Amino acid sequence: MLLITGDGLKTLDAVAGEVGPSATVPASSKAVREALAARGL
């Protein structure tokens, strides 16, 4: 049994440097397809 005692919303700074977008791309179909392909999708 694990007790989770509060939500992560109030401590976003803890993960701010660790997670983020997989990629930032121009608003074009080609760019999106390439970004997804780079992730094996």
Partner 1 sequence: MTLTAAPQTTTAFDLGPARALSCRECGHEIPLAAEFACPECFGPLEVAYDFDDVTRASIEAGPKSIWRYRRLLPVPSDVQIHPNTEPGLTRLIKADRLAQALGVRKLWVKDDTGNPTHSFKDRVVAVALAAARELGFTVLACPSTGNLANAVAAAASRAGWDSVVLIPSSLEQAKVLTTAVYEGTLLAVDGNYDDVNRLATELAAEHEDWAFVNVNVRPYYAEGSKTLGYEVAEQLGWRLPQQVVVPVASGSQLTKVDKGFTELGKLGLVEATPYRVFGAQATGCSPVSKAFAEGHDVVQPVRPDTIARSLAIGNPADGPYVLDAVRRTGGAVADVSDAEVVEGIRLLARTEGIFAETAGGVTVATARKLIAEGRLDPDARPCC
CA 25 – CA 37 distance, rounded (Å): 13
Nearer to partner 1, 2 or 12 (CB): 12
Contact 23, 40 (CB under 8 A): no
Q: How many residues bind partner 1 (CB under 8 A)?
A: 21
Specify the residue, 5 or 26, whose C-beta has the smaller distance to partner 1: 26
Show contacts with partner 1 in window 1-40 (CB under 8 A): 7-9, 12, 15-16, 19-27, 29, 32, 35-36, 39
In this structure, are residues 25 and 35 in contact, taking their beta carbons and an 8 Å threshold?
A: yes
